Amino acid sequence: MFLVLAVGSTVLAQRHAQPYDFPDSVDTRDHPIQLQEKRLYSDTANQVFATNDFPAARLNNFELIRGNLYKVTIAPENTPINYSSWYAFKIWSTTDKDIWVQFVYTYAGHRYIPKLSHDGEHWQAAAPDDFTFLADGQAVLHLDVSPDTLWVAAQEITDTRRVATWLQGLSADERVTVDTIGQSKLGRPLLFMDIHTGKTRKKDIIAIFSRQHPPEVTGFQALQAFVDELLTNERSAEFFKQYRVVVYPLLNPDGVDLGHWRHNAGGIDLNRDWAYYRQPETRQVADHLVNLAADSKSRVVLGIDFHSTQKDVFYTLPDSGYVSHIPWFKRAWLRGIEQTIGGDYRLNESPSGLGQPVSKGWFYTQFKAEGVTYEVGDETPRDFIRRKGQVAARVMIDVLLDKGGS
């Protein structure tokens, strides 16, 4: 059963996003996926149990090897696939036990330092002494298990329900409207948040995406901090008189709740489907944003897509050859982030032109908007994720209101 928000679904005119022939085409027609079997795994002799029967779980087998060493087998939804080896399971025993878990992958290898929780809400990374990457792409983790269920996951679990709960909390703010714009391939809600004051007609739009790739939780955490700052910044009233922010926080709800490494229920990387919109999620989000802008006779001037990778980086369009609606914005924004954070921080920017059909290029080809992919490292300290997200929003507000300082 999927969470249904207590709001209506946005209905707009039926315009369609225009296709664009990106230089490096990608086949985004459905590819078969292999669903994991949801079940309880039992070592009845030692009374140790594990399960994947919850949203966002990924566990394909759990078995005793010998003594107190267990093997966890993890397989992706299909292959080939990006090296984003997501896992998540619950484990417990009838009595207190000291065990080791070896992670074995059918494809690729271990990527994420385990995150542990006893309630699914409060998490901490496994201690360095308890976790080791092995040379063959596997890993081992020491655990103290007990009747108190322990959650073990690649990142903090942030499934559809948790994202919807966050949005509903923000909807108490009169500037915030929470809605759904349609459904995923398997019927989960495509969530949407609209932030503005007053009339929307001819008000420039900033579009924000997140969670095209299920494991990319740190990017979503940066988005949360970014939005929180937008709503509490001392210049917010001035900002929302001039700008409208629309947020699509969970583009791949099926992939998230199914515990996928990368793809949606159609077996496709959604961030390669911004040319022809063959997947229902990209089609609906693209059409919704096109109609939203057209109905209000507004420009989409900036698109930011929050992601995660091994390190913090901003993927941008080059300074030359691409003239957006706000050509003065990017350089002032990135410089302002670096200067505001200060200290030893050096912002990592990686510009590139149009290649594969990703959202960064789509913002530009569809709207002439400045397009940015905001990547956050897997293990970036969570307090710094929040700080940088807040700074990025604060500096954006200042740069847009001051028109780059011009």
Measured between alpha carbons, how far is 40 from 219 in angstroms, rounded to an integer? 31
pLDDT of 157 higher than 70: yes
pLDDT score, position 197: 98
pLDDT score, position 3: 45
**Omega before 55 within 30 of 0, i.e. cis:** no
Whole-number mean pLDDT of the chain? 96
Measured between alpha carbons, how far is 128 from 145 in angstroms, rounded to an integer? 18
CATH 2.60.40.3120, applies to 40-153: yes
Size (the chain), residues: 406
pLDDT of 264 higher than 70: yes
Closest to 85 in 3D by CA, of 110, 104, 106: 110
- Per residue in 314-326, pLDDT (tens digit) is 999 999 999 999 9
pTM: 0.96
For the chain, the structural domain boundaries read 40-153, 160-405
pLDDT of 229 higher than 60: yes
Looking only at the bridges linking them, the beta strands covering 40-43 and 48-51 are antiparallel
pLDDT score, position 141: 98
Other C-beta atoms within 10 Å of 81: how many?
Answer: 18
Measured between alpha carbons, how far is 324 from 341 in angstroms, rounded to an integer? 26
- Per residue in 334-364, pLDDT (tens digit) is 999 999 999 999 999 999 999 999 999 999 9
For residue 284, what are its two tokens? 């609906």
* Location of structure tokens 């080809």: 365
Scanning 44-113, the segments in alpha helix (DSSP H) are none
Measured between alpha carbons, how far is 306 from 63 in angstroms, rounded to an integer? 37
Confidence of residue 263 (pLDDT cuts 50, 70, 90): very high
For residue 70, what are its two tokens? 């267990």
Helix (H, G, I), strand (E, B) or coil at 142: strand
Looking only at the bridges linking them, the beta strands covering 115-117 and 97-105 are unpaired
- Per residue in 49-104, pLDDT (tens digit) is 999 999 999 999 999 999 999 999 999 999 999 999 999 999 999 999 999 999 99
| Section 247-273 average pLDDT | 98
Confidence of residue 45 (pLDDT cuts 50, 70, 90): very high
| Section 176-191 average pLDDT | 98
Measured between alpha carbons, how far is 67 from 89 in angstroms, rounded to an integer? 21
Helix (H, G, I), strand (E, B) or coil at 251: coil
Which fold is adopted by the domain 160-405?
Aminopeptidase (3.40.630)
Query: Cα(first)–Cα(last) distance of the chain, in Å?
Result: 52
